[in-house]
Amino acid sequence: MSGSPEADLTAALIARLAARGMTIVAAESLTGGALTAELTRPPGASAVVLGGAVVYATELKHTLLGVDARLLDVHGPVHPEVARQLASGARTRLAVGKREADVGIATTGVAGPDWQGGRPPGTVYLGISHDGVDEAVELVLTGTRAEIRSRTVELAVSALAARLMTT
């Protein structure tokens, strides 16, 4: 995203979080680390981004980040509540010392080319956890596997900016 409007948005988001003394972590399934890479790209990111967890395997979502095992068994990994729990689990479990991150962001979905768990490619959920609120944002995307993954990163940054740069 370097050089794109989203790249400028990422830099502005990181600067805003730094000015507020806030930290962020990511839990990624669909994006496989691309979101954390984007968040760490701007100068100054080391003061804001604590890290991320790539939990591509469904079981890791439970064992590493605490997503409810029954939820995963019943609904699979591509579900809005899974996204919420991933973001919250990242925020609380990827703590530095005894301090939890201020913000957790998560991505889960189907990039394709095949359906997963009865869901078509392009079904994506973002989880955002901050200020005591855990929410899910549903995205319906089209394109190739690479395009869906890339667009998810862009939209995750936009969703974060919409929530964190106006307060």
pLDDT the model gives residue 4:
53
Does domain 5-164 fall under CATH 3.40.50.2000? My reply is no
Token pair 């989880």 is found at 127
28: β partners: 54, 107
Tell me: pLDDT of 66 over 80: yes
**pLDDT tens, position by position, 106-143:** 999 999 999 998 999 999 999 999 999 999 999 999 99
Within 10 A of 3 (CB to CB), how many other CB atoms are there? 7
Domain ranges of the chain: 5-164
Instruction: Determine the Cα–Cα distance for residues 11 and 75; give it in Å rounded to an integer.
Output: 36
Which tokens belong to 39? Answer: 């968040």
Q: Give the pLDDT mean for 2-24.
A: 85
Give the DSSP per-residue string, 154-166: HHHHHHHHHHHS-
pLDDT > 90 in the chain, percent: 90
pLDDT digits (tens, 9 = 90+) for 71-115: 999 999 999 999 999 999 999 999 888 889 999 999 999 999 999
Beta strands in 7-85 (DSSP E): 24-28, 49-54
Average pLDDT of span 37-43: 97
